[in-house]
Amino acid sequence: MPVLDMLTTELRDVNAALHTAARGQANEAYVIENPRGAHAIAVGLDGPVSVTVKGSTGYYCAGMNKTATVHVQGSVGPGVAENMMSGEVIVDGDASQYAGATGHGGLLNIRGNASSRCGISMKGIDIVVHGSIGHMSAFMAQKGNLVVLGDAGEALGDSLYEARLFVRGTVKSLGADCVEKAMRPEHTALLADLLKRAGADARPEEFRRYGSARQLYHFNIDNADQY
Amino acid sequence: MCGIVGLFLKKDELRPRLGDMLTDMLITMTDRGPDSAGIAIYGDSSDNLKITVQSDTDADFDGLEAALAGHLGAPVTMRRISTHAVLSVPAEAGAAATAFLDQRGIRIMSAGTSMEIFKEVGLPRDVADRFGIRGMGGSHGIGHTRMATESAVTTMGAHPFSTAPDQCLVHNGSLSNHNDMRRRLARKGVHTRTENDTEVGAAYISSRIAEGASLGEALEGTLKDLDGFFTFVTGTRDGFGVVRDPIACKPAVMAETGDYVAFGSEYRAFANLPGIEAARVWEPEPATVYFWER
């Protein structure tokens, strides 16, 4: 298994090696050692490659990921898996702000906690957080699923569109136009599949579902104080 | 942006390494702010008051020690370090010494029985080198590298800001009600030296402490009375505190081991710290006050 040591290899060379491997379509497995919190590790991968990062990363790790699998054996800084298209990003530790922001697809699996603005403006990504999430998570989320095994902070799902939010613990407060909704059989089935894929130790029946009340889609003067 | 680092040592045997460790941490944060850099070092406590001053003109320091001693009628020692000097005066002569230095147009960086502040325009590596920060020991310290937003790139606009003996503040963010708060503080007789927003934050915290608030209460007050974006790290003789505004978009990460508590704008700042692999690492919560005191 090729090893890229960031004590001796520049970030650009690390990412160039990963991009070449992704284009090769050979599903190679790479290991990155000594990431030491560096930014933009394994960004823009566009093909089947598996990357294990042995340590913690800085901003934007695995951003724009497509098809590839990136497993961080540590914590990640702001913007992990930002705008992910497909594939899987696994974080063993915690994630900082705006994890999975604007993500279109794939699975972001955070085994620790995620801080504020997790899943902001998500557009189809699935995010599973085994711990808790911070305030303003799923702000303006449009599509996809956010699953939280712990608690959610203030203003969950503010100005939400059609994303589904599942929280097992407490929700400090719901944002504008976000409401609790009934768990129907299709939601239980969807959640069961997501929990299984994420290796999460939880049962779908333990969760509550939150979604959009769809009152803010069109301007209505009666809602002026909600905008 | 701006980069902040802080280190609070729990073990005396690490004290000689404080400056070296802080310098490494601060250099790692260089690309968060290349305009100016500064460090507050809390060294050995002294019975005297240490006043750290700055001048761009070498001649300002010629004969300063003797002139100040003559003015105060008390012994004074001076330690020159690049553009700065640390004057040691009897504690009770602090106000007279400060007035004398102000009158001569010499810039006062800080005063305290333990704290010294060194700051200049330039990159962290260059600023740390010119003051020999690596060679400085102490119990705790705070460093800042600045990307200027609210006031000009000058020595006096660099962080940390000190508005009371042994107290300092560094800031990542921008305050939006600093002019109003500056006027409110002035009406209470609390005056700032610059147009900088962070100095107003520092003066606010100092004034609250002077009114009898604890460090924790003063930091709680910033959440109510200061508007804008901030991750603050504040130092006192006995420790340091951290608070972030409720939106918390300015980054912050902390690490704690049996040997130290560390603060960084990013995890990168911790990469060289001993035992970081096994440290407890976490992101401070928004609108939550943290402080460590010995």
Q: Which residues of A touch B281 (CB under 8 A)?
A: 56, 75, 93-94
Most B CBs within 10 A among A116, A132, A158, hence the mutation to make, goes to A116
**Same domain for B250 and B165:** yes
* Rounded average pLDDT over A72-78: 98
How far is residue B50's CA from residue B114's CA, in Å, rounded to a whole number?
A: 7
Chain A residue with the nearest C-alpha to that of B246:
A135
Compare A100 and A216 and report the one with higher pLDDT.
A100
Query: Which residue of A58, A93, A135 is in closest CB contact with B266?
Result: A58
The confidence band for B86, taking pLDDT boundaries of 50, 70 and 90, is very high
Q: Do residue B266 and residue A36 have CB atoms under 8 angstroms apart? A: no
**Same domain for B244 and B190:** yes
Asked if residue A183 belongs to a domain, the reply is yes
* Rounded average pLDDT over A18-44: 97
How does pLDDT run across A190-208, given as a tens digit for each residue?
999 999 999 999 999 999 9
Asked if residue A26 belongs to a domain, the reply is yes
User: Other C-beta atoms within 10 Å of B238: how many?
Assistant: 17
CATH of the domain at B99: 3.30.70.600
Asked if residue A224 belongs to a domain, the reply is no
- Domain of A149 in residue numbering reads as 3-199+208-215
Angle at the Cα of B3 from the Cα atoms of A58 and B208, rounded to 5 degrees: 125
CATH of the domain at B218: 3.60.20.10
**Same domain for B70 and B10:** no
Helix (H, G, I), strand (E, B) or coil at B17: helix
**Same domain for B173 and B81:** no
Strand partners, B256: B261, B280
**Same domain for B129 and B271:** yes
**Same domain for B143 and B90:** no
**Same domain for B151 and B33:** yes
The confidence band for A227, taking pLDDT boundaries of 50, 70 and 90, is low
The confidence band for A179, taking pLDDT boundaries of 50, 70 and 90, is very high
What's B107's DSSP letter? E
Provide the shortest C-alpha distance from residue B97 to chain A (in Å). 46
Q: Do residue A77 and residue B271 have CB atoms under 8 angstroms apart? A: no
pTM: 0.95
Q: Which residues of B touch A58 (CB under 8 A)?
A: 266-268
- Check pLDDT > 70 for residue A109: yes
Q: Do residue A135 and residue B286 have CB atoms under 8 angstroms apart? A: yes
User: Is the Cβ of B266 closer than 8 Å to some Cβ of chain A?
Assistant: yes
Compare A225 and B195 and report the one with higher pLDDT.
B195
Q: What is the DSSP string of A91-106?
A: ESS-B-TTTTTT--SS
**Same domain for B239 and B188:** yes
- Check pLDDT > 90 for residue A58: yes
Asked if residue A19 belongs to a domain, the reply is yes
Asked if residue B118 belongs to a domain, the reply is no
Asked if residue A115 belongs to a domain, the reply is yes
User: Is the Cβ of B268 closer than 8 Å to some Cβ of chain A?
Assistant: yes
Provide the shortest C-alpha distance from residue A194 to chain B (in Å). 27
**Same domain for B245 and B223:** yes
Write down the pLDDT at residue B168: 98
> What share of chain A in percent tops pLDDT 70?
99
- Check pLDDT > 80 for residue A224: no
The confidence band for B246, taking pLDDT boundaries of 50, 70 and 90, is very high
How far is residue B99's CA from residue B103's CA, in Å, rounded to a whole number?
A: 6
B272-to-B4, B34, B139, B144, B285 alpha-carbon distances in Å = 16, 21, 19, 18, 24
> What share of chain B in percent tops pLDDT 70?
100
Number of domains in chain B: 2
b/e per residue, A28-61, with b = 16+ CB within 10 A? bebbbbebbbbbbbbbbbbbbbbbbbbbbbbbbb
**Same domain for B37 and B69:** no
- Check pLDDT > 80 for residue B139: yes
Q: Which residues of B touch A36 (CB under 8 A)?
A: 268, 271
Q: Are strands B115-121 and B107-112 parallel, antiparallel or unpaired?
A: unpaired
User: Is the Cβ of B71 closer than 8 Å to some Cβ of chain A?
Assistant: no
Number of domains in chain A: 1
- Check pLDDT > 70 for residue B252: yes
Provide the shortest C-alpha distance from residue A210 to chain B (in Å). 23
Write down the pLDDT at residue A222: 78
- Domain of B270 in residue numbering reads as 3-45+123-293
What's A10's DSSP letter? -
Residue B21 near residue B64 (C-beta atoms within 8 A): no
How does pLDDT run across B210-230, given as a tens digit for each residue?
999 999 999 999 999 999 999
Element (H, E) at B216: helix B215-225
Asked if residue B18 belongs to a domain, the reply is yes
Catalytic residue numbers of B read: 2
Q: Do residue B267 and residue A134 have CB atoms under 8 angstroms apart? A: no
Write down the pLDDT at residue A219: 75
**Same domain for B207 and B98:** no
Q: How deeply is A74 buried, as exposed, middle or buried, from its count of CB atoms within 10 A (0-12, 13-18, 19+)?
A: buried
Asked if residue A220 belongs to a domain, the reply is no
Strand partners, A145: A126, A164
Write down the pLDDT at residue B274: 96
* Rounded average pLDDT over B246-257: 97
Backbone φ and ψ for A39, nearest 5 degrees, come out as: -85, 160
Most A CBs within 10 A among B25, B32, B267, B273, hence the mutation to make, goes to B267
Q: Do residue A96 and residue B283 have CB atoms under 8 angstroms apart? A: yes
Write down the pLDDT at residue B150: 83
Q: How deeply is B288 buried, as exposed, middle or buried, from its count of CB atoms within 10 A (0-12, 13-18, 19+)?
A: middle
User: Is the Cβ of B251 closer than 8 Å to some Cβ of chain A?
Assistant: yes
State the ipTM, two decimals: 0.92
- Check pLDDT > 90 for residue B1: no
Query: Which residue of B247, B267, B286 is in closest CB contact with A77?
Result: B267
Asked if residue B280 belongs to a domain, the reply is yes
Mean pLDDT of chain B: 96
Crossing angle of helices B64-72 and B94-103, in 10° steps, is: 130
Asked if residue A222 belongs to a domain, the reply is no
Write down the pLDDT at residue A177: 95
A50 alpha carbon, distance to own chain's centre = 18
CATH of the domain at A108: 2.160.20.60
Asked if residue B138 belongs to a domain, the reply is yes
What's B274's DSSP letter? T
Most B CBs within 10 A among A41, A96, A110, hence the mutation to make, goes to A96
**Same domain for B41 and B59:** no
